[in-house]
Amino acid sequence: DTEVTQTPKHLVMGMTNKKSLKCEQHMGHRAMYWYKQKAKKPPELMFVYSYEKLSINESVPSRFSPECPNSSLLNLHLHALQPEDSALYLCASSPGDGTDTQYFGPGTRLTVL
Amino acid sequence: GNSVTQMEGPVTLSEEAFLTINCTYTATGYPSLFWYVQYPGEGLQLLLKATKADDKGSNKGFEATYRKETTSFHLEKGSVQVSDSAVYFCALKFTGGGNKLTFGTGTQLKVEL
């Protein structure tokens, strides 16, 4: 099973709202990632968690706040977003054992009004 | 730095035609190489990978060979189907390199009847 699940599938929010994106994997992977993908572009890395600790933050604005409650779950908390933050947000996971093939979820389509 | 260059799209083919999508890379050392596919409205799916020179990755009729001498990882399929219409991303990663994937810009493939 190489499945990464993400909820919700679609999200519309206002600039003053607070919302969260959720990602889950049950493959025993120890590394999890958040990417942002704009239309017709490749994914851009935002955050990496390795063994439940934040290991990479690609200078992401503080209105995006990641959280890794346990090795299977990854959240992305959203607050005071801007319309330009509208995008497809992808979660991925990898074993974390050096082989590091990343497996992606289906994404959450976010629209900020 | 590391980079991946893919051929510009869209590539439009008739069903049963032969497919080649070119991918070349620039990297210091010997990265792992990947092809991901993204169907409309979905996340990325790992299509195939190769971790060392002369390795051939294959899946669902697609193949790519890791060519160190030409720093290339071209994607090929002998007979495409309409269902292969998608965006294809070439990517590289160094083992232990912060788990970061470097993506190409993506190549859109359209297969017509």
> Does pLDDT of A24 surpass 70?
yes
Task: Mark which residues 42-71 of A lie under 8 Å from B by CB.
Answer: 42-43, 45, 48, 50, 55-56
Residue B35 CB coordination number (10 Å) = 25
Q: Which of A41, A60, A45, A56 is nearest to B101 (CA)?
A: A45
Is B44 near chain A, with CB under 8 Å?
Answer: yes
The Cα A33–Cα A31 span in angstroms is: 7
Q: Do A102 and B89 touch (CB under 8 A)?
A: no
Owner of token pair 């971790």: B51
Banded pLDDT at B1 (limits 50, 70, 90): confident
Flag the least confident range among A55-59, A86-90, A97-101, B69-73: A97-101
Are B49 and A101 inside 8 Å of each other by CB?
Answer: yes
**How many whole angstroms separate alpha carbon B65 and alpha carbon B76?**
9
- pLDDT, residue A37, reads 97
Confidence of residue A84 (pLDDT cuts 50, 70, 90): very high
Supply the pLDDT for residue A2. 65
Dump the DSSP string for B32-53: EEEEEEE-TTS-EEEEEEE-ST
Q: How confident is the model at residue A96 (pLDDT cuts 50, 70, 90)?
A: confident
Count of helices and strands (H, E) across chain B: 0, 12
Q: Identify which has the larger pLDDT, A107 or B98.
A: A107
Q: Report chain B residues whose CB lies below 8 A from the CB of A25.
A: none
For B15-39, the pLDDT digits (tens) are 999 999 999 999 888 899 999 999 9
Q: Is B105 on the interface with A (CB under 8 A)?
A: yes
- Residue B3 at interface with chain A, using a CB cutoff of 8 Å: no
- Whether B15 and B74 have beta carbons less than 8 Å apart is answered as no
